[in-house]
Structure 1
Amino acid sequence: MSPPASTDKKQSGIARVLGSASAGICEIGVFHPVDTISKRLMSNQGKITSASQLNSVIFREHASKALGQRLFTLFPGLGYAACYKILQRVYKYGGQPFANEFLTKNFKDSYENVFGPKTGKALMSATAGSLIGIGEVVLLPLDVLKIKRQTNPESFRGRGFVRILADEGFGLYRGWGWTAARNAPGSFALFGGNSFAKEYIFGLKDYSSATWTQNFITSIFGASASLIVSAPLDVIKTRIQNRNFDNPQSGFTILKNMAKNEGITAFFKGLTPKLLTTGPKLVFSFALAQSLIPAFDKLLG
């Protein structure tokens, strides 16, 4: 019989918050323009056939301006993005270990009996990630406002944050079901791919003992799996969220129109740039959080 998988060292809640928040701050500082480009490519409903058309999709009405001025236009919604990203990373990277500890305490034997010690441990981490991913819909309004600022700024019509909250209310949760449907498999693949790599490539017994290099490599596996699995639902979610407040459209309507007018490949629009742009962003923040959380725990301890 295989020996039971060892339990990861527990870090304090403060260390988890500080480590994941620091990763979120660094991520938003480096990757916000890249995220804007990715969202605009996903929102584009036609085929891009030339460099000039690509320039128009990315920079919109600023496409004819000088390069420096065009680049400056890739920072819309930075305030919403900062609030959303930091809260999201604290919730996701800091919360998943708590969910994993709950599963380990209550269901460890069940997972190990069915899947074996090593696979069972990795799958518990993946399941914990999936549960946390579903709960992430609580932060949806900030994500909606960030995406609208990036892709459809006219929808604000001069309104500020408080006025939009008052006017739209629960309308800001439009698309929550699609978001949860995207997050569940996406987060499962993110934490699962990361854990399987730590388990089977590096043979780590305590995942928190991984070096920066190991965290970076395993994060590549997790991030790539997450983006591929969640791509179709992410396109639908983005199109739901980028429409005008007064002209909403259901996810099923968008799905039907995409399949009819754009074909099956439309569900993977933006996947290549996303793997090349969002991929490194996710790898960067995930690896950084996994390295900073134990570092903060050691520092505070």
Structure 2
Amino acid sequence: MVGFAPTDATPSAAVKFFGAGLAGCIADLVTYPLDTAKVRLQIQGESKGPMGNKMFQYRGVFGTITTMVKDEGPRSLYNGLVAGLHRQMSFSSVRIGLYDSMKQFYSQGSDNITITTRLLAGCTTGAMAVTVAQPTDVVKVRFQAQARSGNSIKRYSGTMSAYKTIARDEGIRGLWKGTIPNITRNAIVNCAELVTYDVIKELILKNELMTDNLPCHFTSAFAAGFCTTICASPVDVVKTRFMNSTPGQYSSALGCAFTMLTNEGPTAFYKGFMPSFLRLGSWNIVMFVSYEQIKRGLMRAQQSWESPF
């Protein structure tokens, strides 16, 4: 199972919930520049220059990061970080922290947990997390992309201002813009990420290739990140484009996908693949390692509170 602590005791749902949110924040702090580069590469090609030609400002992951630092300063790599941390505390807490509980729910307490049960648990917690955290994701994407509208004009002055401005100008529904493609994406992400990590870790331990320690967690997380990137990139690009779009730019998420396919071809759905992989791979490694350590620390603290002497 994902993230069992190396003790006879099983972490409580509250420990998993809080630990997953905190681990997600730590992973975001480490990998956020890669996520920002991914967003910039994904939205590239939407705008056209004065002569009607498509504008391509960025080239590759590190080229994008270098260009942003040169043109906008190092802080631009962390545009929307506050909203990103808001997102992780609500999003990761639900989709990762409740995953084991959902597995037990679907398996009705059985120790024999099938792939189908894992997939159902991943889809469920992914959809639940999006429903709760969608406004934070919308604001994060808007901040990461806002430099594209000009060097001097910014869409939003601050995180709380962005929430208010979007709600005022686009209605409450604007804060949940792109919910359907995001639910689709995160159902895929959750299944690919958590189930891959879960299964690979279980196989490694079952075959005694490694013990339940850092190398095992690293290998499982790396495989989970690669699998997730392949599965989720097309939906992720559509989600990013649609959430960042101005009112009326696209009729729907499917309309956005069709426009991308028509104007830019099928390769558009894998724009930003390398930063997505670098980010998801590193994010998974940092998150799962942090998650395991945080849970162990919380369990030790809980045991000391319950048995102070």
Which TM-score tier does this pair reach, normalised by the shorter chain? 0.7 to 0.9
Alignment root-mean-square deviation, CA = 3.1
- Which residue of 1 is the match for residue 48 of structure 2? none
The range that moved more, 142-151 or 278-287, is 278-287
Which stretches in structure 1 are left out of the alignment for 5+ residues? 110-116
**Residue identity matched to 1:31:** T
**Residue identity matched to 1:236:** V
Q: Deviation per CA, 1:90-126, whole angstroms, max 9, x where unpaired?
A: 11221112111212325x48xxxxxxx5xx4454334
Would you identify which runs of 4 or more consecutive aligned residues in structure 1 move more than 6 Å? none
- The separation in 2 between residues aligned to 1:52 and 1:103, in whole angstroms, is 42
The number of residues matched between the two structures is 277
Choose between structure 1 and 2: higher helix proportion. Answer: 1
- The separation in 1 between residues aligned to 2:190 and 2:14, in whole angstroms, is 23
- The separation in 2 between residues aligned to 1:241 and 1:219, in whole angstroms, is 28
- Which residue of 1 is the match for residue 242 of structure 2? 240
Cα–Cα, structure 1 residues 204 and 129, in superposed 2: closer, same or farther, change >3 Å?
Answer: farther
- The separation in 2 between residues aligned to 1:181 and 1:237, in whole angstroms, is 9
**Residue identity matched to 2:142:** K
**Residue identity matched to 1:134:** A
- Which residue of 1 is the match for residue 307 of structure 2? none
Cα–Cα, structure 1 residues 30 and 274, in superposed 2: closer, same or farther, change >3 Å?
Answer: same
SS of residue paired to 2:206: coil
**Residue identity matched to 1:136:** A
1:19-34 to 2 correspondence within 5 Å?
19-34=19-34
Cα–Cα, structure 1 residues 215 and 204, in superposed 2: closer, same or farther, change >3 Å?
Answer: farther
Answering whether residue 31 of structure 2 is matched by residue 38 of structure 1, we say: no
- Which residue of 2 is the match for residue 113 of structure 1? none
Q: TM-score, normalised by structure 2?
A: 0.78
- Which residue of 2 is the match for residue 149 of structure 1? 143
- The separation in 2 between residues aligned to 1:94 and 1:54, in whole angstroms, is 33
Deviation for aligned residue 1:11: 1.3
Deviation for aligned residue 1:187: 0.9
Q: Deviation per CA, 1:11-37, whole angstroms, max 9, x where unpaired?
A: 113321332133123123222222111
- Which residue of 1 is the match for residue 271 of structure 2? 269
Cα–Cα, structure 1 residues 296 and 125, in superposed 2: closer, same or farther, change >3 Å?
Answer: farther
Q: TM-score, normalised by structure 1?
A: 0.80
- The separation in 2 between residues aligned to 1:229 and 1:201, in whole angstroms, is 23
Cα–Cα, structure 1 residues 94 and 52, in superposed 2: closer, same or farther, change >3 Å?
Answer: closer
State, as a whole percentage, how many aligned pairs show the same letter.
22
- The separation in 2 between residues aligned to 1:150 and 1:211, in whole angstroms, is 35
**Residue identity matched to 1:130:** C
**Residue identity matched to 2:31:** F
- Pick one of 98, 101, 122 that aligns with 2:104: 101
Which stretches in structure 2 are left out of the alignment for 5+ residues? 46-53, 148-153, 304-309
Cα–Cα, structure 1 residues 215 and 157, in superposed 2: closer, same or farther, change >3 Å?
Answer: closer
- Which residue of 1 is the match for residue 198 of structure 2? 195
Indicate conservation of the 8 Å contact 1:59/1:74, yes or no.
no
Answering whether residue 175 of structure 2 is matched by residue 172 of structure 1, we say: yes
**Residue identity matched to 2:16:** R
